[in-house]
Structure 1
Amino acid sequence: MKIYRKYFKDKLFLKIIFLFSMITIVTIIIFSYLMFRSMSDAAVERQLGIQRSAVQNINKYINNKYESVQNMMRDTYRDADLAFNTSYFLEHPYKDYVEFRLNRNDSGLTSDTVQIFRNRFEDDPDIATLMLYSASLQQLYVYNDVNFKIISTNAARSLVPDAMYAGESSKVSTPNVWVRKTIEMPESPMFSVRIPINNNITLRNIGQLEVYFNSEKIWNSIENYREEIKGRIVVLSGNGDVIFDTDGSFYGDRYPYVEQINSVYDNDVTEEGDSIIKLTDTQGGYTVLSLIPKNELAGTYRGVRNTIVLVSSICILFAILISSLFIMNFARRTHSIIQFTRKVKNGDLNARIAETKDDEIGQIAKSFNEMLVDLNLYIDRVYKAEIKQKHTEIAALEARVNPHFLYNTLEVIRMRAVSQGAADVGEMIYSLSMLFKNYVQQKPRYTLKDELEACRMYLELFRIRYKDKFSYEIICDKQLMGRTLLKMSLQPIIENYILHGMRTDGTDNEIAIKITKIDEYLYVEIKDNGQGIPPDRLGQIKDALANSDEYSGSFGLRSIHERLKLLYGAPYGVDIKSDLGRGTVVTVLFPDLGED
């Protein structure tokens, strides 16, 4: 409040600048926020698209390698001679295999198992090692870049036989540590694909084909995305071992979050806000997983955020600066007009506004100058002689009767009655004084509440007068109390009942006032159990209400009815029904004027 009084109170142009600045700032902030949300969402979606493409390319690469190993055995089985030679090769010592081919005079390279698998090893540069394992001989036939080796793996002296049949066949996994040591493979990242080899005649398993691929070659499949990849991408085997890791920290180990990964969907967000893209190959039994931490993903749109903040700040600064300069120039010109009017107020009728522009302010200044010229001419012509005359003050006392004097007098009488022990008289005088005050008090708007209060005070007078012989009830929804109503539009009806309808010898006199709202009308029903009205008199009253020129007494009812008709038209007015000896019902229909 102190800041407002010091800087803004009575300073219209500062208020305009402040209001415009607030609107500008809020508008730019909202627009910037919406733009940031849109651009950040687009940046995040683009990054997720890159991660998704990288995951798909890695999956495609590994799947191709998996299929290539599968095709090695499919092609072998399709060639009957090659399939037979392969079975003989794995079920007999290598020397016997060579003699067997010589005896058959089989010198073709297309049916030589050793040469065929040598060719397949050399055809794929991504293969680090290709191995054929003989289950019956417990021997490994190893192809690598150096030579072709035959390694004995007797179960009594080696764990290789168990390792070759450990886990599921035809799955992608990490190379077994015992096999790697046996074949003296270096500790470089690799993944293996193992395929069972069966005798094509007996269908009995006779060995395994296992191929080691260089995991570093997987990078070739995502070379186009290498600089744009966020977080890390890992390839997990079926048992959770890491086959490939873009960070290189988990290779060969069991992935520490494999249980959590198994419970998430293909595209999901962790509780920490990290984004996950998962692609599982059920045939190869491996999973390609992309994990982007929340802070790294936010880094994709950090530059956009900074740019938007900078541009928004510049826009806010220029908008406020330009508008402030414009408004302050307008304020300066307006202030010069205010200074001019003060000079004129102090008697300087020769003052003029120096304004050369022809805009709205310039036109006002020009009009002021022209008005002063005309005023000076008028003063010189008519009033210059008169202003020199002595001014006299004419004072007159206007005697007016204050309507509150009677209220104050009644209050003195009431206090006297109370002091003398006449409490009921004091209460009646109080009700009368309040009733009188309500009638004489001038209000800009008279409401239903005011009229009902006047009725209540009037009825209260007679309740005190007749004590246990008379009771009343007022029923009205509180929401209707503020409705605008004609003054003295219900009290005369109450007065008619008191004067003409009450049975003073009875002890069960009752009157009820009920107000309801029906559509655009206010419906008032005043019902009593008094003497009723004789039929001929009731007819006269109704004729008088229908014909305003006919005189038949009942001034109060006619006054209400005629005022409503004149002000609001035919639908509104008073209706009366009476049953002699049983009571009278008077209904009044008002327009619902609301609370304005």
Structure 2
Amino acid sequence: MKGRRLRSRARYQIFNRILAMYSIIILLVISLLVVLIAKYVADDFITRSLEANEKQVEALAVYMAERERSLATHLRELYFYPELVESIAVALKNDPETYLEYRLDQYSLQRSFVPSNVESFMRGFYYGDGAIDAITLTSYETDQVYAYVFQYANWNRIQNEGEQQAITLTRPINDGSSTTGIGQLTAYYSSEALRQAVASANNVGFLQMHKEDGTLLFTNRPDPFELPQEEDSGPVYKEMVKNGETFYYKVEQDADRGLYYVGVVPRSEITELSSLVYATIALLIAVACVTVAVGYFVMRRYARRMQRIEASMQLVEQGDLSARIDMSLQNKIDELGSIAGNFNRMLDELKRYIDKSYVLELKKQEAEMRALQAQMNPHFLYNTLEAIRMKAVIEGATDAGAMTFHLASIMRYALSENRSATLGEELEHTKQYMALMEQRYRHALTVEYEVDSSLLMDSILRFSLQPLAENYMIHGFMPDKKDNRLHISIQKKEHVLTIVVCDNGKGMASERLEAIKAKLREEEYQHIEQSIGLANIHKRFQLEYGQPYGLSIHSVADEGTSVQLTCPLEREESDCDESPAC
């Protein structure tokens, strides 16, 4: 007894260890999954942040390309007006006094509404592109500079900070009659307009624009940020550490304009963006831990309930049939509660069975005695019928002898325990029954057989053909009629065995026929008055061969009935060809 308790305790210790190991595995898997998710989310945040910054770099490059395209388009219009080109050429090749005299002369001679002076043309640049703060014309020969200012506050700031740090684009100016350059046009652009152009709702990091010599032209960071001076870094962001902080940066070179576009993303900004995600992951870990803990204690509770059930089973095993499982400690609606309830009911039934076992044993012995008394040796029956037949033959009662012979054959077939028979055996059994009926109703019954002899060796369920003939004798045969006829046809249609039994008997009314067909279609066949044999055959065939097969019936009142029975042929054609019976 003590050893069994120790084994039970050890077994439940193993169960607890397995439960603990299972919980640890769940925690490890969840932790690993959370770590992977955290890494994926962090990488995804970095990727999306870099993509957002890259779009800003692209916006910066597009902005400068659009400024240059606008500048070139407007400057190209200059060469459509020769007077304007001449005016600019005079301004660039001479001193201001000479140019002023030229302007006065041209003004008095001007007949067109198209402006032909430099000031009007320069104002057209500002009207075409509001981001321009000022434009300067510089002569190649005299170094003479003409400045046309549109935004004085920005121009003053440029002068104070130095023109080297201004955002400028320069285009050459030719004299109009040749490709010889006479000077250059320089456009100064507003840094504030550039800052607004590259601003977006999801700004991440900051932008910088440098000249080839490293001069900083633009940044949307309050204080300048020094980066390694290098060639175009390509589409991939690089990583650098500065002052203990990690930065991701990308440099794109604009060789046409001599500029470098730089995108910089501090890792601290990405960390700030992803802090909410990390908090969510931490919450998931906490929820997972609580879930595992709750599951552990719930399973422990189930383990204790199972232990109580096993303890009760051990008491029953030791012979204590009064042991019961305390249902107050069981949940009656779950599986263990159902097991406990069934166990208690089983013991109650077992007790009642034991109490009645003596009476049941007496009844069993009595039933066995009655069964022995009711048994009849088939051989004794056959021998008795054969003796009666021989006695009838000797005394000249040939009809009685023949009927006795047919009856013996029918009983021999009926007492066989086989589930199926060959079609030939079933047909012979039917012939014996019909021969017996022909002896009884001599000159009033004619039976015709139309049988494909190649099918006689095929297997069929026993008692499938004879009940059809018997059904006719019971329900369709008319004793007062002299031309009763029963036709039995057994043929093969493709790979289906078809048995048709038709007669010229009473037939059935349409209402009765529909009632029988409805009963045949039911899955459960109950008692059908005057047609139990048909229902039995139909159900057995469908259970054996499947839904498409079975029995169908057609009947017309006072004309006759036709019953068709179908089942699949179990032999192949090649087997039939080789069979001697074919």
State TM-score, norm by structure 1.
0.49
State TM-score, norm by structure 2.
0.50
Q: Give the number of the structure whose residues are more often helix, by fraction.
A: 2
Identify the structure with bigger relative contact order (alpha carbons < 8 Å, sequence gap 6+). Answer: 1
